[in-house]
């Protein structure tokens, strides 16, 4: 359990992706998470939001209060809602998207799951940019 002792805390730090994500700044990343993740899934949505914050520019980061709203309400904070048209998500409609530098986060209607068509569309877009 975190906080049990220094050795336990060090193991948590070493095993956390947040420890290493700063090294991914500048790489093209697209983080996807379901709005119900942590409610009907195994990984709290906060993990994805914190990961985005780690690789984004300071001006684009989500506040602690915004992240807590996502977690507590399983909803997008009203002031962050924007229409998003992305048919690659199908019925798993994107609810929130933010880009900072080469990192993007998309929160969609769903849980802890892969939206295959969206992932494939992203891979194809990256591949097209390289050619």
Q: Is residue 31 part of a domain?
A: yes
Residue 56 has pLDDT above 90, yes or no: yes
Q: Residues 118-129: what's their mean pLDDT?
A: 87
Question: What local confidence, expressed as pLDDT, does residue 109 receive?
Answer: 96
Q: Is residue 11 part of a domain?
A: no
Q: Which domain holds residue 86?
A: 25-130
- The answer to whether the Cα torsion of 93, 65, 49, 97 is positive or negative is positive
The answer to whether the CB of 102 falls within 8 A of the CB of 33 is no
Q: If pLDDT is split at 50, 70 and 90, which confidence band does 21 have? A: confident
CB atoms within 10 A of CB 82: 11
Q: Residues 47-63: what's their mean pLDDT?
A: 96
Average pLDDT, the chain: 91
Residue 39 has pLDDT above 90, yes or no: no
The structure tokens listed for 28 are 């093209």
Q: Is residue 15 part of a domain?
A: no
The answer to whether the CB of 102 falls within 8 A of the CB of 28 is yes
What is the C-alpha to C-alpha distance for residues 92 and 111, in angstroms, rounded to an integer? 9
Q: Is residue 13 part of a domain?
A: no
């Amino acid at each position: 359990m975190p906080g049990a002792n220094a050795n336990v805390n060090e193991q948590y730090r070493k095993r956390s992706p947040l420890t290493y994500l700063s090294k991914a700044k500048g790489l093209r990343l697209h983080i996807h998470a379901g709005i119900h993740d942590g409610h009907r899934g195994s990984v709290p949505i906060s993990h994805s939001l914190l990961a985005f914050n780690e690789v984004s520019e300071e001006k684009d980061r989500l506040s602690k209060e915004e992240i807590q709203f996502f977690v507590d309400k399983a909803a997008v904070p009203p002031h962050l809602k924007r229409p998003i048209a992305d048919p690659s998500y199908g019925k798993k409609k994107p609810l929130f998207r933010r880009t900072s530098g080469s990192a993007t986060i998309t929160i969609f209607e769903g849980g802890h799951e892969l939206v295959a068509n969206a992932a494939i569309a992203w891979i194809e877009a990256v591949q097209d940019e390289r050619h």
